Amino acid sequence: MSPGTAEFGFELSVCRWAELSWPPTGDREHAVVVARQLGTQQRRWDTVVLECDPAGLAARQRFGPRELDSDLLHVVRHAPAEWAWYRDALPDPGYPWRYVRAAVHRAADRDVVETRRQGNRIEIRRIAPYPDWLHRLVAIENKPDLDASAARALADQVAHDVETGLADEVWVATEATGERIEPALLADFPVDVGILAFSFDEADSAGGDGAADGPVAAGPARTAASVEWLPSEVTPPGAPGDDERRRRRFELAERAYGRGWRSYVETMRPDCRHFELRRFGRSLLPHCAAKDRSPTAAECAGSCPAFEPEPPAWRTRGWPIEGGPGTGIQALLRGRREWVRERERETSGGGDGG
């Protein structure tokens, strides 16, 4: 069982599993970056797995740890090797150039391009080619309690994911029931969607990925090989064209790179006296001592009726002068995010810790 009743704990466990063990076949050929709650205006995915070219991921590091938003990407991806006026160098953005000019200044402030002034013209030059670091993008929808009616409700959403073609694979992750996945659940999903059934093991504190036996990939027709439904040269009807699709995938990948899946530390309240991190298998998951369970990301906020700021005295007992346990937790999770990114740049496998 995943901790508490909240889907949030399940979601974080899936993220941790993916970080350690993606793909389900176990044959990791690429570096992996995992993020959560990312998508488009129309659709947000619970878990996003980026399969990355390790050399490309290492080259991406040159542009810093923060995400490049769409405006910055436009500048960075098209910045020339030699000095040129930005309007000559960059493709027509389809919106006023003054916004591009503002993005050029932001890019220079972030040191992701070089600029110089020639008369009243601003010239730009790239610091390095923006690498083609994204190999494949995988979307996972988490539904721990996937019964037949939940499967029906989810079917349209995952069918939409298949149609838009932004992701290369679409999976639904659910909690294993101890039985083989019910055919009734499979019947509601497009055949292009894979199902992962997890049985997370709280006691798995050494060597495993937190999943007791699994995951079980659903049915012989839905093996990992069979969900490779989108050959790169094929665009499903209604899906964006190649350039647009490529641009949107890089925007998603940048957001995943910048945020990772531990970004809940920026929205939850580690500075509440009841906030704890508890080990679950090989994951460190948020735990609320007041509610004695894993809180949802939405309820763990300043508006929570049980919120209590950590006492000032906690900040003076061996904690850094600038913070108490809450600051320590934030630093720990941020550090883990950096550390995992660093590890994936160096190797496409292995790892430890939550």
Nearer to ligand SF4, 11 or 123 (CB): 11
Nearer to ligand SF4, 325 or 354 (CB): 325
> E-assigned strands of the chain?
31-39, 44-52, 84-85, 113-118, 121-126, 134-142, 169-175, 193-198, 216-217, 275-280, 283-288
Q: Does 272 bind ligand SF4 (CB under 6 A)?
A: yes
**For 169, phi and psi rounded to 5 degrees?**
-140, 150
Cα separation, 74 vs 103, whole angstroms: 9
Q: Does 9 bind ligand SF4 (CB under 6 A)?
A: no
Nearer to ligand SF4, 165 or 325 (CB): 325
Tell me the window of 117-125, 149-157, 180-188, 288-296 that interacts with ligand SF4 (CB under 6 A): 288-296
Which DSSP string corresponds to 135-168? EEEEEEEE-TT--HHHHHHHHHHHHHHHHH--SS
Q: Does 295 bind ligand SF4 (CB under 6 A)?
A: yes
Pairing mode of beta strands 283-288, 44-52? unpaired
Tell me the window of 138-146, 225-233, 293-301, 321-329 that interacts with ligand SF4 (CB under 6 A): 293-301
Which DSSP string corresponds to 205-229? -SSS-SBSS-PEEP-GGGSTGGG--
Q: How far is the CB of 304 from ligand SF4 (least distance, A)?
A: 3
Per-residue interface string for the shown chain with ligand SF4, residues 304-333, x marking contact by CB under 6 A: x-xx--------------------------
Buried b (16+ CB within 10 A) or exposed e, 54-86: bebbbbbeebeeebbeebbbbbbbbbbeeebeb
Identified binder of ligand SF4 from the candidate list 28, 78, 247, 291, rule CB under 6 A: 291
Residues forming beta bridges with residue 115, ordered by sequence position: 124
SS3 of residue 170 by DSSP: strand
Q: Does 275 bind ligand SF4 (CB under 6 A)?
A: yes
Identified binder of ligand SF4 from the candidate list 1, 84, 127, 290, rule CB under 6 A: 290
Q: Does 299 bind ligand SF4 (CB under 6 A)?
A: yes
Side-chain-facing half-sphere of 68: CA atoms under 13 Å:
30
Cα separation, 195 vs 143, whole angstroms: 10
**Taken in order 7, 21, 257, 64, is the CA torsion positive or negative?**
positive
Q: Does 277 bind ligand SF4 (CB under 6 A)?
A: no
Identified binder of ligand SF4 from the candidate list 30, 269, 336, 337, rule CB under 6 A: 269
Tell me the window of 84-92, 111-119, 130-138, 287-295 that interacts with ligand SF4 (CB under 6 A): 287-295
Q: Does 172 bind ligand SF4 (CB under 6 A)?
A: no
- Look at the block and give the residue holding tokens 């460190």: 284
Nearer to ligand SF4, 157 or 327 (CB): 327
Nearer to ligand SF4, 74 or 273 (CB): 273
Residues forming beta bridges with residue 211, ordered by sequence position: 200
Q: How far is the CB of 319 from ligand SF4 (least distance, A)?
A: 18
Tell me the window of 13-21, 140-148, 195-203, 299-307 that interacts with ligand SF4 (CB under 6 A): 299-307
Q: Does 278 bind ligand SF4 (CB under 6 A)?
A: no
The binding site for ligand SF4 (CB under 6 A) comprises 269, 272, 274-275, 288, 290-291, 295, 299-300, 304, 306-307
